[in-house]
Amino acid sequence: MAGPSAAGAPSLEGKSPYELRLHQSVAVPELDVRAALASGDVGFLHSFTTGSAVDGPGIRVVAWTTSCMFRCRFCHNPDTWTLANGMAVPLAVAVDELRKYAAGLKVMKGGFTLSGGEPLMQHRFAARLFREAKQLGVHTAIETNGFYSEKLSDAELADIDLVILDMKGFTPAQHQRVTGVEDNARVLEFGRRLAAQKRPMWLRYVFVPGLTDVDAEMAQVADFAASLGVVERAEILPFHQMGRYKWERLGLDYALADTAPPTQEAVTHAVGIFRAAGLQAH
């Protein structure tokens, strides 16, 4: 299977996660794709980006996977929904890329974050990459919706220093409204699993006017997170339109095209709901 070093292939390092990348592995045979997903020998990555200060503690390198089971209406990277839009990257190449930054990440008290898409759609690659990162002495984090968390064993979960859990809603009806998937029981169960194992966790909630700005939903999410006892911080992320051009380029129906970012007053109100539950919210 051809990797990113093949002639004419795009660079593994991306300019930003908002860069549109399409059809990077469309020529990979289906049997090879299935073998890669089963073994973790190869991952399908949108890109690596460096210098992130928002995807975990310190300064971080982030690998962005492709493929996701949700279709969030506010998604700013819908190109990462599709596996074939990711570059086929052998595990050894991904580890070499991370190794280049390992020493600097330690100095900057940062680390490596695996995001997406949904990283656990490629759970074998994710588990093996985290194991390699820990052997390099690098702090590890995953940003996940938690839906496929049972795919990781407890030993594999132990290689992840921080879980950043993206919660879309609390009730099944709201979860379906936001993601297109009604069942969120697995997400809640993952939170409880992290709590039982006393695994550090951050919570993320995207605040979208007219969609997720529902006080009752936010209160239930906040109360659930607070009950776990392992949530170190809650991040309320204001909606933005930086990914709108991707929806347009991909010919997707973007229901939020006319939605303005929330006011500071509205964001402050939302943060207050999470703080009222006892969380360190920002």
* Within a domain: 5: no
Residue range(s) defining the domain that contains residue 188? 30-276
DSSP classification of residue 10: P
Number of domains comprising the chain: 1
Total Cβ atoms within 10 A of residue 180? 12
The identity of residue 152, as a single letter, is L
* Within a domain: 6: no
* Within a domain: 2: no
Mean pLDDT in residue range 153-175: 98
Cα 38 from Cα 41, distance rounded (Å): 8
Kindly tell me the burial class for residue 233, based on how many C-beta atoms sit within 10 Å of its own C-beta (0-12, 13-18, 19 or more).
middle
Q: What is the DSSP string of 219-277?
A: HHHHHHHHHHS-EEEEEEEE---TTHHHHHHHT---TTTTPPPPPHHHHHHHHHHHHHT
Residue 7 is predicted with a pLDDT of: 41
* Within a domain: 250: yes
Residue 83 is predicted with a pLDDT of: 98
What the block records as the tokens of 29 is 């045979």
Q: At what angle do helices 264-276 and 215-228 cross, to 10 degrees?
A: 40
Which H/E stretch holds residue 133?
Answer: helix 123-135
* Within a domain: 88: yes
The dihedral of CA 163, 168, 170, 175: what is its sign?
negative
Residue 3 is predicted with a pLDDT of: 53
103-140: pLDDT as tens digits: 999 999 999 999 999 999 999 999 999 999 999 999 99
CATH of residue 160's domain is: 3.20.20.70
* Within a domain: 19: no
In this model, does residue 62 exceed pLDDT 90?
A: yes
Record the pTM: 0.95
Lowest mean pLDDT among 13-22, 23-32, 254-263: 13-22
Mean pLDDT in residue range 134-150: 98
* Within a domain: 8: no
Residue 1 is predicted with a pLDDT of: 56
In this model, does residue 2 exceed pLDDT 50?
A: no
Mean pLDDT, rounded, of the chain:
95
Percent of the chain past pLDDT 70, that is, above it, reads: 96
82-99: pLDDT as tens digits: 999 999 999 999 999 999
Mean pLDDT in residue range 75-88: 97
176-215: pLDDT as tens digits: 999 999 999 999 999 999 999 999 999 999 999 999 999 9
Residue 4 is predicted with a pLDDT of: 57
* Within a domain: 4: no
